[in-house]
Amino acid sequence: MGLLENKTILVTGVLMDSSIAFHVARLAQEEGATVVLTSFGRTMKITSTIAKRLPTTPEVLELDVTEQEHLDSLADRVREISPQLDGVLHSIGFAPPGAFNFLEADWDDVATAMQASAYSLKALATAALPLMTDRSSLVGLTFDAKFAWPLYDWMGVAKAAFESTNRYLARDLGPQGVRCNLVSAGPIRTTAAKSIPGFEEFERVWDNRAPLGWDVKDPEPAAKACVALLSDWFPATTGEIVHVDGGVHAMGQ
């Protein structure tokens, strides 16, 4: 019996088969789950194509987390596939190019980054909540926000807000039995990463700093952590950030 047998898992953020979200969806299916994907706009076609590379081709629902209408109808649309949601993966992040210049970024760019990359965790959680049970799990992906990373700028600030949002969700959803945790992954060569100016700098230094080593082309370690948190194997863990970064977070400069 798999870790996610008889569970339904909603997975956002599948754009390419190199993404952590894709491997979460794959592993979830291999562990017995029914997986539902989300996408929106022009990327719907891409996600639907990539979905065919999974062991079982899942349904793909349209969901733009910045559109209230999409959020309001999410539960009803998922209910057509499954009566409940046992887990939700938040793998969403976006910032306009201007947000990657800390001192010169304007509020419009910062606001977009904050809504898409931080507030969206709360928005997705409350949209899914009508279908969640007292054993459901919300898992999000972050990039360690304790530090001011080179070039990350307002996306780093958004990730700090994202991590704080997770703690408040853990507080407010805990009484309903819903667990809220994050996986802080090391740099992975994904579509989102390629949109960050100078991301190659992370790639060059991470493997040297990681005591376990680090492969920027391997999203599976982070995906396995997400699947474990989506399962029943962490029944008393919430508000946590699990680092899957080869150990870099624990090392000095």
Section 159-170 average pLDDT: 98
In this prediction the pTM is 0.95
Query: In this predicted structure, what is the pLDDT of residue 249?
Result: 95
pLDDT greater than 90 at residue 154: yes
Residue 134 belongs to a domain with what CATH number? 3.40.50.720
pLDDT band at 108 (very low <50, low <70, confident <90, very high): very high
**177 lies in which domain range?**
8-245
Percent of the chain with pLDDT over 70: 96
Dihedral sign, Cα of residue 227, residue 233, residue 236, residue 237: negative
Residues marked as catalytic = 152, 159
The answer for residues whose C-beta is within 8 angstroms of residue 78's C-beta and 6 or more apart is 8, 10, 36, 61, 85, 128, 131
Residue 90, in any domain of the structure: yes
Question: Does a structural domain hold residue 137?
Answer: yes
Report the distance separating Cα 40 and Cα 60, nearest Å.
Answer: 9
Question: 77-92 pLDDT, tens per residue?
Answer: 999 999 999 999 999 9
Query: Which residues sit in the known binding site for NAD(+)?
Result: 13, 19-20, 64-65, 92, 159, 188-192
Domain total of the chain? 1
Q: How far apart are the first and last CA of the chain?
A: 43
Q: What is the pLDDT of residue 211?
A: 95
Q: Which element (helix H / strand E) includes 89?
A: strand 85-90
